Amino acid sequence: MHRLSTLLLTLGSVTLGQTNTNNFNPLHHLAGISPYFTPNDPQLDPSVPQGCNVTRAAYLVRHAAIYANDFDYESYLEPFIQKLQNTTQDWSKVGSLSFLSNWKAPITEAHLEKITRVGLQESTMFGINIHDKYPDFKTPKNVWTSTAERTVKTAQGFILGYTSNETTQIHLTQVGEYKHAAANSLTPYQSCPAYSSSYGSKQSSEFVSHYTKPIIARLKAQAPSFNFTTDDIVAMFELCGYETVIRGSSPFCSLDLFTLTEWLAFEYGNDLMYFHNTGYGRDLSPAIGFPWLNATRTILADQSAAQDLYVSFTHRELPPTVLTALGLFNNSAYSGVDDVNATMPTDAINYGRVWKSSQILPFLTNIAIEKMACDSYGYEDGVYYRVLVNEGPQPLVGCRDGPGESCSDEAFGWFVQRRGESSNPPTSLIRLPHRNHIPLRIPQKPPPKVQTPLIDKQPTPTTHINRIPEELLIAANVLRAVLLRVPDFGVHAHGVVHAVCAVGGGAVGG
């Protein structure tokens, strides 16, 4: 997807060019409002490994760039814009903010939650790039999306690009976004009473109030009539991202306005929020994300699956939970320490962390699992899997016995099983996206643990899986059977079941 990355990296280049002496790009540190980019971290070759051929792939994709979401607009952007309109401050005499003398807001209430032109362009380019990436794949019969306008339009842009405007070749299946939807597989958190948009706000607010104090003092000295507040500072950081995906650049992105350290602080404040609501700071997160992982593994492994490519479009909440289910971007992955919360202090930035929301969920963030047939030097011939996040390979912890840090078929099966065992959510109800969905309750008491090595050769695992995976595999297999019998039934066809959590912790909305 080099073309998409190159296109989007040009956003804001004029604003940044004069001061960006060390290649620092604020647009890569804006958390959930970052324009799409590929972090290249770790710096692994994204090309298919030598001797390998991708035979099937599944993608989970966040919607493309929007004007603004409701929360950001109502909490930060609108109050700041109104304050600018009513101030007596003479901005022409305030160096780093002199542009405010003639600046006009790019967002109104009518724009909220809508895809920008840049968003439509990037979603179309994404479709072109995916088509070029897998030239031998059959055109998929179905693409799935949640029903919000921004996800639907992103999916439509993808189809437009993938089919070169022959959009009738692919059917777009819309999966409802409401609390009690049995087919709610692309927004499972909506059906989870334990999920709350408020989690993470306390930790984030604590740090935000800490890092904005020096900024407020500095700007008040420069513009005493405006009376800057913490919310104003957050609004200016956010306008850098939102204005860029609307107009192509933003004066708020200038390193003359905020220092490099202050940009990193803004990012870290968001990292704290996402960490404690859709990340490792909430035990519920992998339980929400695991069903997508498990059912995707099932459909990719199924030789009779109807499609080579499975693509689904969702909101920002789901991808981070899938990454926790995969064990990726885990600050304590190799530390041997169980207290992952200690890796995200609220009084100082952990510069060594790997949990960075800008890399995890920019606009159009995508998680891919590729199935490969390999005949590579030094490895056994066979099937291997690899995970890509925003085009970059992400090696799985304890499961990298294949070419290009990929994972062998057998090892990946054990890996998914173990990840399911470690999810361990509260008592949950699994619902199938079927006309008469079959509820499967997760047992509160797990059966005796089966000790199986992750990579060492073992007999292929059967249906005996501890805790969650046993039920999820049953659910996924039942759904798969339904789909094979009723291929045209309008559901999320690669069998993503989801946990509707009864009690417990929660996560963020937005």
Compute the distance between CA of residue 394 and CA of residue 27 in angstroms, rounded to an integer: 22
Lowest mean pLDDT among 258-267, 291-300, 477-486: 477-486
Lowest mean pLDDT among 29-33, 212-216, 403-407, 493-497: 493-497
Q: What is the pLDDT of residue 5?
A: 52
The H or E element containing residue 322 is helix 318-326
Per-residue pLDDT for 487 more than 80? no
List all residues 6 or more positions away from 189 whose beta carbon is below 8 Å from its beta carbon.
195, 288, 317, 318, 321, 507
Residue with tokens 């794949």: 137
Going by pLDDT thresholds of 50, 70 and 90, the confidence category of residue 420 is: very high
The backbone region for 489, taken as left when phi is positive above 0, alpha when psi lies in -120 to 50, beta otherwise, is: beta
What number is the average pLDDT over the span 58-84?
98
How are beta strands 498-501 and 440-441 bridged, if at all?
unpaired
Per-residue pLDDT for 164 more than 80? yes
Lowest mean pLDDT among 123-137, 207-221, 487-501: 487-501
What number is the average pLDDT over the span 301-325?
96
Lowest mean pLDDT among 22-26, 61-65, 118-122: 22-26
- Residues 305-325 as b or e (16 or more Cβ within 10 Å = b): bbbbbbbbbbbbbbbbbbbbb
Query: ω into residue 433 within 30 of 0, thus cis?
Result: no
Q: What is the pLDDT of residue 450?
A: 32
Per-residue pLDDT for 97 more than 80? yes
Going by pLDDT thresholds of 50, 70 and 90, the confidence category of residue 340 is: confident
How is 440-493 classified by DSSP, letter by letter? EEPPSSPPPPP---SSS--PPP-S---HHHHHHHHHHHHHHHHHHHSTTS-S-T
Q: What is the pLDDT of residue 338?
A: 67
Q: Could you tell me what percent of the chain has a pLDDT over 70?
A: 77
What number is the average pLDDT over the span 370-387?
98
Q: What is the pLDDT of residue 179?
A: 67
Supply φ then ψ for residue 93, to 5 degrees: -100, 5
Summary mean pLDDT of the chain: 83
The total number of residues shown for the chain amounts to 510
User: Residue 454's beta-bridge partner residues?
Assistant: none
Task: Name the token pair of 297.
Answer: 């593994």
Q: What is the pLDDT of residue 22?
A: 72
Compute the distance between CA of residue 158 and CA of residue 163 in angstroms, rounded to an integer: 9
Longest Cα–Cα distance in the chain: 75
Environment class of 159 (CB within 10 Å of its CB; exposed 0-12, middle 13-18, buried 19+): buried
Q: What is the DSSP letter of 409?
A: H
Task: Name the token pair of 119.
Answer: 């968003």
Q: What is the pLDDT of residue 461?
A: 34
pTM for this model (two decimals)? 0.83
How are beta strands 366-374 and 52-62 bridged, if at all?
antiparallel
What number is the average pLDDT over the span 378-383?
97
Per-residue pLDDT for 343 more than 60? yes
Which range in 353-367, 414-428, 440-454 is most confidently predicted, on average pLDDT?
353-367
Three-state SS at 223: coil
List all residues 6 or more positions away from 31 whose beta carbon is below 8 Å from its beta carbon.
266, 267, 270, 271, 274, 357, 358, 361
User: Residue 312's beta-bridge partner residues?
Assistant: 60, 144
How many CB atoms neighbour CB 429 within 10 A? 16
Query: ω into residue 79 within 30 of 0, thus cis?
Result: no
Residue with tokens 């952990």: 350
Task: Name the token pair of 406.
Answer: 């990929």
Q: Which tops the pLDDT comparison, 216 or 454?
A: 216
Compute the distance between CA of residue 423 and CA of residue 280 in angstroms, rounded to an integer: 11
Q: What is the pLDDT of residue 186?
A: 87
Q: Are residues 368 and 292 in contact, defined by beta-carbon separation less than 8 angstroms?
A: no
Three-state SS at 498: strand
Per-residue pLDDT for 15 more than 60? no
Residue with tokens 């929020």: 273
SS (H, E, C) 479-496: HHHHHHHCCCCCCCCCCC
What number is the average pLDDT over the span 219-228?
97
Give the Å distances, CA to CA, from 3 to 23, 68, 133, 148, 181.
20, 25, 12, 27, 38
Q: What is the pLDDT of residue 495?
A: 37
Residue with tokens 């073992």: 458
Lowest mean pLDDT among 8-12, 100-104, 154-158: 8-12
Compute the distance between CA of residue 221 and CA of residue 233 in angstroms, rounded to an integer: 14
